[in-house]
Amino acid sequence: MDFETWWLIFVPVLFALGWIASRVDIRQMLSETRSLPNSYFKGLNFLLNEEPDRAIDAFVEVAKLDPETTELHFALGSLFRRRGEMERAIRVHQSLLARADLPQADRESAQHELAQDFLKAGMLDRAEQAYEQVLDTRFAVPAVRALIRIYESEHDWPRAIEAVKRLRALVDEPVPQLAHYQCERAVAAMSGKSPDFKAASEALDAADHAASALRGEAGQASEARIAMLRAQLARLAGRPEEERAYLVSVLDTAPEYASLIAGELMESYRRVGQQEEGLAVLQNHYVRRPSLDTFNVVFRELRSQQGHKPAWAFARQALRAHPSLLGLDRMLEAELVLNEDPAGARPAAPEGAAQGSAADIVAGADLSLLRTLIHKHTQRLDRYACRVCGFEARHFYWQCPGCNSWETYQPRRLEEMK
For the annotated binding site for Fe cation, the residues are 386, 389, 400, 403
DSSP annotation of 348 reads P
End-to-end CA distance of the chain: 84
Residues 6 or more apart from 127 whose CB is under 8 A from it? 115, 116, 118, 119, 146, 150
Residue 395 CA, distance from chain mean position: 15
DSSP letter for each residue of 105-168: HHHHHHHHHHHHHHHHTT-HHHHHHHHHTTTTSTTHHHHHHHHHHHHHHTT-HHHHHHHHHHHH
Residue 132 near residue 151, CB atoms below 8 Å: no
DSSP SS3 for 296: helix
Residue 93 near residue 130, CB atoms below 8 Å: no
Binding-site residue set: 386, 389, 400, 403
Residue 391 near residue 403, CB atoms below 8 Å: yes
Residue 204, CA distances (Å) to 77, 176, 249, 257 in order: 44, 15, 16, 18
Query: Dihedrals φ, ψ of 222, to 5°?
Result: -65, -45
Neighbours of 326 (CB within 10 A): 21
The residues that bridge with 384 in the sheet, in sequence order, are: 393
Pairwise CA distance, residues 413 & 406, whole Å? 18
Continuous segment of H or E residues that includes residue 308 = helix 308-321
Q: What is the dihedral of CA 18, 24, 30, 36, to 10 degrees?
A: -130
Neighbours of 190 (CB within 10 A): 21
